[in-house]
Homo-oligomer: A and B are copies of this chain.
């Protein structure tokens, strides 16, 4: 974990409202693994005291990439960032996704920008598996080719039916779970809205599979100091308590989460 001042190498439209931000943060890039995130200080967001967290979409010796969608004051202000702008990152933060068990096949479930860390995970995965991508509209279904080109089985759903099957991602998952092809030893990975994570967790648990959920909580410090981002969990001894999504997560096994 370090504070790194870096420059924007590229900032471009990725798809629909989503943007891709490429940063020459090589220190963080070298250290980052899938599931980790950076805490980004948005330039020229006067009066803002908080950074904003973004998952690593790519990380390597040249730096990092993130995908984001403008949804509020901060991400809106990010739109005006340009190549060459300097900004400050803290990262890599949190724990990455655990590696998929040797004999298991990875099953990924993504909603919205949640596909970004999963695409990074697929890149480093020992073998391809299956990914369910859900979105409101076709525009929200990102990175399909990232997976296809690596041999993944990609199942798309959109709520308006503009791409793939119509409905929520759970519709596709449930259909698949009914089918014989779902049999076998699986390890689940999911990133998206809470509703999606919860649904994935329930389905995985019902089958006795691990489901690694990447949680999205409003953050203050990003490093574990402020206790803003806490999530209620069930401890091994049955008691309940808080964990810090930023430091103890953002990835947690589904059965530990108290929704």
Contacts and interface: CB of A to CB of B under 8 A. Distances in A.
A82 to B, nearest CB: 12
A46 B77 CA distance: 12
A184 interface: no
A44 interface: yes
Interface in A34-60: 44-47
- Determine the interface band of chain A, counting residues with CB < 8 A from chain B: under 10
Nearest to A45: B46
Q: Which of A45, A46, A47 has the most chain B CB atoms closer than 10 A to its own CB?
A: A46
Copies of this protein in the complex: 2
A47 B47 contact: yes
B47 A44 contact: no
Nearest to A46: B46
Nearest to A44: B44
Contacts of A46: 45-47
A44 B46 CA distance: 9
A46 B47 CA distance: 7
Interface string A202-222: 000000000000000000000
Contacts of A45: 46
A46 B76 CA distance: 14
Nearest to A80: B44
A49 to B, nearest CB: 11
Contacts of A47: 46-47
A185 B46 CA distance: 54
Nearest to A48: B46
Contacts of A44: 44
5 contacts: A44-B44, A45-B46, A46-B46, A46-B47, A47-B47
Interface of A: 44-47
